Structure 1
Amino acid sequence: MMRLTPACCMALTLLPASVYAVPANSVTDILWDKDNTVRVGESINTVYRIAMADGSSNHLWLNVDCATQAKTLLYMNLQLPGGKKIRAYGGNSFARYIPGVPFEPDADSPLSTDPVLDICQQKVPQTRWVALSGTDKAGDQPLIDVNNSHREGNILTLRLATDYAQIHREDKYAAPYDFKISQMQVNCSRRQARVERTFSLNNQFVTDDSATPDTAFTPLPSPLAASVQTLCSLENIGQFTGSGPRVERQKTAADAPLVIPDFENNDPSALAHFPLPAAVNGVIQQALKGENAAPTFSRLTFTQVWPGNDDSHAVTRIDRLPDGSTLTLDTLMLKGVTFYSQYQRLFNIVNLKEWDSMQNSPLIGQSVETNFSAAPVVGQQYRWKTVLKNEKETGNTKTKSQACLVERQWHDASMLNEKFPGRYIEVSCTDDRGDGRAMSSDYAWLENLRIFIRIGYQEEGQKKRFTFKDVAIIR
C-alpha cells in the first residue's frame, strides 16, 4: 500500500523512500495517461495518474530515455485538501521551475513491477513534424505531427506545434520552452476548433502542461485557417507535406536569466535588484534616526521550536543591513522538503520586502506607514501597514499590517534562552497577512539587541510559546 504525506499531499511511496518518508493517505491505483504523452526520438515524456483513497488524484510527469532506461522526474501536479492544486518541480521546488532530477523508483514500486506502466514497452508512435508554413518575422514556425494526427469523418484530431526561434519562459512557473504543442480538434464542416491540452518543451523535456478538455468549439484562428482548410481536404493527414520537414536549429534565450536569491546564505543581492521607492526609504531613515536605533548585532541566528509534540521548528537568521534594517531568513523543513522565506524589515517586524522559495519574484513595499521605534514604550500601541507589489506580475499587490500593544512588565531575556542578553518586554499583535483574516503574533523586544523576535501566539485566550535553541549572536 502506498501512502501520501499529510503536509504536502505528495509523499508517494512510488518515489524513492529517501525523498518522502512519511506516509499518510492511501494510493489506490497508478494509471498511465497515454493522452498526456510526448515523444522526442527515444525520449518519452508521460504522465502517471496517482489515484488516492479520498478520491483525489496527483499527476506525475516523468521522462524516460528508452535507449538507456534513464528516468527523470520532471514535476508533479498535486491536489491538496479542499481541491487546491500545486505544482512541484523536480520533486521539491513548489510553484517554481527547476530542471528535472534523476529518478529511480523503488524495486517494489508498480513503476518497477507493472509492465503496463513501462512506457518504453507501449506503442508510442514516433513523431514526424512537418511545417505548415515558413517562419514568421520572429523566426517562429508552425508545425504538425502527421504521425499523431488523424481524421474521423469531419473531425480532425491534430497535434500542432510552434517551433520558437528562441527559448522563452512561462510567466507562472518561469518554466523554459522553445517548442509548444497544442492537441486540437477541428470540425471541418463548421470551420471551428478547440484546444484540448498543451505541452511546453525545452530540449526533449516537457516543462509545463495544461488541459482544457471541455472547451467549446470556436472559430478557427486566422493564422491557422488556410492550413486547416488544406488538412480538411485530405483523406489521409499522413500525406500532408506542407513546407517540408522540421529543421532542428540552435537557439538562444530570449529572456534574461532568472535572478533567484541564494537563500541558504541569506544573500541580499537578489532583493537589491528591486529598490524601494524614495518614500519608503524615507520611512526607514526616520525610524532609524539617532545613534541608538539600529540593531546592535551583525547577525543573530536561532532555532524556533513550536508548541506541541511533533518537534516542528524553523531556523531563523537575521542580518543587519548597512541602512540599519534587517534581512531575515526563515528556513522551514516539511517532510524532507526545505522552504525559505526572506524578508527585509524594520526591527524585524515591519515588512519592507519579501521573497519566498515558491515565487519567481519578490513583493516590494510601495508604501509603508508605521509608528514603531527602537524604544517601545510600556503600554503603548504600535502599528504598521505596508502595500506590497510584485514588480513582475501586473496587478499583483498585497496589503499587510499589524496592530500591537506593549505589555507592562519587563523580563530577563535569559528566560527565552541563556544566550539572549539583557531584558525583554512582550508585545502582542493582531496580524493581517494579506488575506483579510486576523491572526495572533506575540513578540519579544530584546532591548540589548534592539530587535523584535516572534515568541509565539495566542489561541483561545491562552499564550502559546516557542522555545529557542542554537542561539548565536555576532556583534
Structure 2
Amino acid sequence: MHYARPLLRPLFLLSLLPFSFAQAAEKPELIGGGINPLSVTRIHDRVSYMVSLNFNNGKTAQQWRSVDCKQGKSELLYKDLLDDEGLTKVRFYGDSYMRYAPAQDDKLMTAEDIRKICQLPVKEPLWERLSATSATGITDLVDVNSIHRVGDILTVRMGYDFADIIWEPPYDAPLELKIEHYFYNCKTHQGDAVAAMNFDGQGRVTDSLITADIVRRKSSFKIDAQKAQHFEQLCQLPAGKTFTAEGRFVPAVNKSASTLMGPSMPDLSNNNPQWLSKYPLSAAVDRQAQALIKSWAIPRFKQVRYTEVSALGKIKVQLDAQSDGYIRKLEDYGIWTVQRLTLANLLQLKFAMSISSGAMLLNTLQTDLHFPLVQGQKYQAKLENIDADKKVTSSAMRCEVTGEGDAQRIAPEFSGKYLLVECHESNEGQPDNRSKLAWLQDLNIFVPVAQQLGDKPERLVTLENVSVTR
C-alpha cells in the first residue's frame, strides 16, 4: 500500500474519489450473474458463497455473502470490483475501502432466497489432521467430506487451522481458518488451487482468491512434495472408504487474539492517538513547532467537531487539543479516515491513513509564520515530509492575512472575530491549490472558507454540525 502524499490542508484529492460503489459505477444495471460453485462452504449453520455480477456498462464484480441457516439471516461480506482481465482492482467491505469491516445485514434476501441457499448440496467440513500442530500454531488438515474423484480428476479441500486469531494483509482481515480448494490429475500428477478462502470464528469468509485472482497468484499455491504425497494417497483411496491420517480435528472456539500478528493498519476511530504516538517528531522539529505556538497559538478548546461541506462532498472533522498544544485531527471520508497532528489545524506535523501502515512525519520546516496574526501579515512555509520508506516529499505555502469578520458568520457556534487568510499551496506530485482560511481568534485554530484545486473554479466551504467543547 502506498502512502497518500501529505497536504497542508485536507486531502482535496481524496474527496474527488468515489465514496461508494454505487457512485463510482453511476448505478449500472445488473444484467446477469450467478453463484460460483467453488465458493460455497458450510461451517456449522453458516453458508458462505460468492455471486458473480455483470453490469450493462461492461463492468463485473464479485459479491461475497453469508447466510446463517439457523437464524434465517443473510449478510453481505464484501465486494470486489474487477478490471477488464477479471482481477480485483478495488474491494469494499460495506463502505470501507480496501480494509476489513464487519459483515453488513443483507436486507434484500427473502426468506425463500435464504431457504434455497441453505439447501445447497454442500457438506460441513469433516477435518482430518495431517500433521501435528506446528510451533507457530498451524495445523494442516484435509476435509474428508470434500474428497471426490471423477475419472482422473481429484477435487479436495485442504485446511489450515490457526491457534490464535491473526489479521492478514492487505486488508487486515481476521483469520482463524484457511481453506484451499484443489483440482489434481491423478494420471498426470499435476494440479492447481482453484479457490482459497479465509474464515473467522463464525464461519464467515473474510478474504479470498478465486477465478482470475488465484490464477495470477498460482505460484503461491505450488504443490510441494508433501502435498503431492497426500494427493496421491487420496487418488488411491478405494471407493467408499473414508480417508484417515492423524485423527479427527475440531477447531477451537473463542480463540485468543494473536500477540504477534495483529492488525498492520491503525485504529483511528474516535481520533485515537495511539498510532501516531508511536512515531515521534525529531527534537529539532518539535522545538521549532513548540516555539511557534507558545504562547499565542495554544488551542482554547478541548474538542471541535464539524462537517466540511463543499461541491466536492462532505468530510466529517474532529479536532482534539493535546496537552502539548498540538491539535490531533481526524477526517472521515466515509470509505477511509485520515489522521493528522497539526499546528493550529494548519501545518501538518504527522500523517496517518486508515488503509495504510506506517506514518508520515514532518522532517524539516522553514517558515516566518508567527503569532498573533495581524491584518496585512504575510508568511510562507517550506516543508519536507518523510514516510516509513524514507521517501522525502516537499511542499510549500504562501499566505496573506487579507480581512476580518465576525466568527458567527462562519458558524453560529463560533464566537469573537476571525481573520481571513488566503494561501497558495504547492505539493510535490500534486496540482497547486489555493485556499481561504479563517483564523478563529477565540479558539486559535484555522478552519476552511474556500478552496481551489489546480485550474478548477473556487469552491466555497461551509461548516455544518458544528460543536465546540471548551
Q: The TM-score by the shorter chain falls in which range?
A: 0.7 to 0.9
The Cα shift of 1:240 comes to 2.4
Alignment match, 1:345: 342
The Cα shift of 1:63 comes to 1.8
Match 2:361 to one of 362, 365, 368: 365
Alignment match, 1:210: 209
**Any idea what SS the aligned residue of 1:172 has?**
coil
**Any idea what SS the aligned residue of 1:253 has?**
coil
The Cα shift of 1:157 comes to 2.7
Tell me if the contact between 1:301 and 1:473 (Cα under 8 Å) persists in the aligned partners.
Answer: yes
When the two chains are superposed, the root-mean-square deviation of aligned CA atoms in Å is: 3.7
C-alpha change, 1:157 and 1:113, in structure 2 (3 Å) is same
Tell me if the contact between 2:317 and 2:331 (Cα under 8 Å) persists in the aligned partners.
Answer: yes
* Matched ranges for 1:365-384 at <5 A: 365=361, 367-371=363-367, 373-375=369-371, 378-384=377-383
Moved more, 413-422 or 41-50: 413-422
Alignment match, 1:199: 197
Letter in 2 for 1:94: Y
1:74 aligns with 2:77: yes
Structure-2 separation of matches of 1:297 and 1:80: 48
Structure-2 separation of matches of 1:298 and 1:229: 67
Structure-1 separation of matches of 2:164 and 2:101: 19
Structure-1 separation of matches of 2:84 and 2:308: 27
The Cα shift of 1:408 comes to 6.2
Structure-2 separation of matches of 1:342 and 1:52: 36
TM-score by length of 1: 0.78
Letter in 2 for 1:41: H
Alignment match, 2:315: 314
Alignment match, 2:269: 263
The Cα shift of 1:226 comes to 3.0
Structure-2 separation of matches of 1:401 and 1:35: 49
TM-score by length of 2: 0.79
Letter in 2 for 1:150: H
Letter in 2 for 1:160: M
Structure-2 separation of matches of 1:237 and 1:400: 66
* Matched ranges for 1:456-467 at <5 A: 456-458=450-452, 460=455, 462-467=457-462
Tell me if the contact between 1:79 and 1:86 (Cα under 8 Å) persists in the aligned partners.
Answer: yes
1:44 aligns with 2:47: yes
Structure-1 separation of matches of 2:39 and 2:450: 47
The 4+ residue runs of structure 1 with deviation greater than 6 A are 80-84
* Matched ranges for 1:15-34 at <5 A: 24-34=27-37
Greater relative CO, 1 or 2 (CA 8 Å, sep 6+): 2
Letter in 2 for 1:268: P
Structure-2 separation of matches of 1:461 and 1:262: 32
Alignment match, 1:88: 92
Letter in 2 for 1:354: F
Structure-1 separation of matches of 2:446 and 2:84: 34
The Cα shift of 1:145 comes to 1.7
Alignment match, 1:172: 170
The Cα shift of 1:200 comes to 0.8
1:406 aligns with 2:399: yes
Residue by residue, what CA displacement relative to the aligned partner does 1:376-409 show, whole Å, maximum 9, x if unpaired? 67344322232233xxxxx4x6655432222363
**Any idea what SS the aligned residue of 2:229 has?**
helix
The Cα shift of 1:181 comes to 0.8
Alignment match, 2:252: 249
1:97 aligns with 2:100: yes
Moved more, 29-38 or 186-195: 186-195
Residue by residue, what CA displacement relative to the aligned partner does 1:214-273 show, whole Å, maximum 9, x if unpaired? 355886324424323323444659642222222333543223665954634x34345435
Structure-2 separation of matches of 1:326 and 1:343: 8
Match 1:287 to one of 280, 283, 292: 292
**Any idea what SS the aligned residue of 2:387 has?**
strand
The Cα shift of 1:431 comes to 4.2
Letter in 1 for 2:249: R
Structure-2 separation of matches of 1:354 and 1:270: 10
Alignment match, 2:145: 147
C-alpha change, 1:50 and 1:313, in structure 2 (3 Å) is same
Match 1:452 to one of 446, 449, 453: 446
**Any idea what SS the aligned residue of 1:319 has?**
strand
Structure-2 separation of matches of 1:58 and 1:84: 8
Moved more, 32-41 or 462-471: 462-471
Letter in 2 for 1:453: V
1:429 aligns with 2:424: yes
* Matched ranges for 1:410-421 at <5 A: 410-412=403-405, 414=407, 416-417=410-411, 419=414, 421=416
Residue by residue, what CA displacement relative to the aligned partner does 1:421-457 show, whole Å, maximum 9, x if unpaired? 334242323343x7x2224141425162443333322
Structure-1 separation of matches of 2:23 and 2:402: 46
Unpaired runs of 5+ residues, structure 1, are: 13-21, 106-110, 390-394
Identity, % of aligned positions: 23
Structure-2 separation of matches of 1:329 and 1:81: 36
C-alpha change, 1:273 and 1:6, in structure 2 (3 Å) is closer
Aligned residues: 438
Tell me if the contact between 2:352 and 2:359 (Cα under 8 Å) persists in the aligned partners.
Answer: yes
Tell me if the contact between 1:260 and 1:270 (Cα under 8 Å) persists in the aligned partners.
Answer: yes
1:61 aligns with 2:55: no
C-alpha change, 1:48 and 1:117, in structure 2 (3 Å) is farther
Structure-2 separation of matches of 1:280 and 1:271: 16
Tell me if the contact between 1:300 and 1:473 (Cα under 8 Å) persists in the aligned partners.
Answer: yes
Match 2:38 to one of 32, 35, 38: 35
Unpaired runs of 5+ residues, structure 2, are: 1-16
The Cα shift of 1:306 comes to 0.7
The Cα shift of 1:160 comes to 0.9
Letter in 1 for 2:286: N
Structure-2 separation of matches of 1:454 and 1:167: 43
